[in-house]
Amino acid sequence: MTMRTHLLSTGLAALAALMLSTVAHAVLGGAASTVQEDRINMKAAVPATSTKLNYTIHEMTLPSGTTVREYIAGDKVFAVAWRGRNMPDLKQLMGSYFDTYTSEAHANHNGHTHVAIDHPEFVMHAAGHMRSFAGSAYIPGMLPEGVKADDIH
């Protein structure tokens, strides 16, 4: 076995192990107890935490400079928002709602870079172009009392 073949085999084995491993992270609608794991998975700077009314915001800055906010009430993530030069891993942030996002975005694609999904169980608005992306997603039924959609940014 040549050195090149050995390195290729080792690299493929490592990639397979990463793909098969399960990663826990805070996701829209999920438990808030795993925000720290989310930060590690996204390689984000230590999150800043601020408390508003009856919810908490965990803000993380990714290596790309993109800022991600996770809005938490009780022990649940009721909203996420992002802004920056690069898109964050939306599959990681939105969990099971990611499938709704991808199907809606694909079905309603008209050449624009704006996505608007307004369902009773899931709302998402996102826009962007090269080096400037922003968006938010939330679960209307989980919004704490007194919190409006405009508070999520």
Tens digit of pLDDT for each residue in 87-109? 999 998 898 999 999 888 777 65
The residue range of the domain holding 49 is 24-151
Query: Reading across the β-sheet that carries 132-138, which strands appear in turn?
Result: 48-52, 55-61, 67-73, 76-84, 132-138, 123-129, 114-118
Whether pLDDT at 113 is above 80: no
Smallest CA-to-CA distance from 34 within 47, 21, 17 is with 47
Strands 67-73 and 48-52: what pairing?
unpaired
Residue 3 within a domain: no
Residue 53 within a domain: yes
Residue 64 within a domain: yes
> Which pTM does this prediction carry?
0.74
Count of domains forming the chain: 1
